[in-house]
A and B are shown apart, each in its own frame.
Chain A
Amino acid sequence: MSSNRDPPDGGGTVTETLTTYGTNLISNRSRPEEENQVEEAELKYGASHVIHLFVPVSLCMALVVFTMNTITFYSQNNGRHLLYTPFVKETDSIVEKGLMSLGNALVMLCVVVFMTVLLIVFYKYKFYKLIHGWLIISSFLLLFLFTTIYVQEVLKSFDVSPSAVTILFALGNYGVLGMMCIHWKGPLRLQQFYLITMSALMALVFIKYLPEWTVWFVLFVISVWDLVAVLTPKGPLRYLVETAQERNEPIFPALIYSSGVLYPYVLVTALENPEESRTTSEQPATTEAAPSTSAGNTGFAPGLQSDSKRTAVKRIPQKVQVEEAPPAARNQPQNVRIERRTPAVQLEHLNYPRHDDYQEERGVKLGLGDFIFYSVLLGKASSYFDWNTTIACYVAILIGLCFTLVLLAVFKRALPALPISIFSGLIFYFCTRWIITPFVTFVSQNSFLY
Chain B
Amino acid sequence: MDISKLTDVKKVDLCKKYFLIGACFLPLIWVVNSFWFFSDAFCKPVNNHRRQIRKYVIGSIIGSIFWIIVLCSWEIFFQYYRSQGLVWTDFLTFVFPTGRVSMSFSNHKLFDLCVNLPKFMKMLSNLFIHVQFI
Contacts and interface: CB of A to CB of B under 8 A. Distances in A.
Interface of A: 69-70, 72, 152, 155-170, 172-174, 176-177, 180, 185-188, 190-191, 261-262, 264, 357-359, 361, 385
Given A72-B103, A159-B115, A186 B32 contact: yes
Contacts of B2: 188, 261, 361
Contact of B94 (A155, A159, A264, A358): A155
Instruction: State the 9 A-B residue pairs at the shortest beta-carbon distance, nearest first.
Output: A173-B28, A160-B118, A261-B2, A164-B94, A163-B78, A185-B1, A167-B94, A69-B105, A159-B97
Contacts, number: 113
B14 interface: yes
A144 to B, nearest CB: 14
A338 to B, nearest CB: 20
A161 B115 contact: no
B86 interface: no
Contact of A262 (B1, B35, B97, B106): B1
Contacts of B95: 152, 155-156, 161
A170 B95 CA distance: 15
B111 A70 contact: yes
A168 B97 CA distance: 17
A156 B94 contact: no
Contacts of A187: 1, 32, 35-36
6 contacts: A157-B101, A166-B94, A173-B27, A176-B29, A180-B21, A261-B1
Contact of B82 (A72, A161, A177): A161
Contacts of A264: 1
Contacts of A161: 82, 93-97
Contacts of A185: 1, 14
Interface of B is mostly: helix
Given A161-B96, A167-B94, 18 more contacts: A69-B105, A158-B97, A158-B118, A159-B97, A159-B115, A160-B118, A161-B94, A162-B75, A165-B92, A166-B75, A166-B78, A172-B26, A173-B26, A173-B27, A177-B28, A186-B32, A261-B2, A261-B5
B57 to A, nearest CB: 14
B126 to A, nearest CB: 14
A276 to B, nearest CB: 25
A165 B100 contact: no
A104 B59 CA distance: 55
A69 B103 contact: yes
A81 B113 CA distance: 34
Contacts of B93: 161, 163-164
A158 B115 contact: yes
A192 to B, nearest CB: 11
Given A158-B114, A186-B32, A261-B2, A163 B94 contact: yes
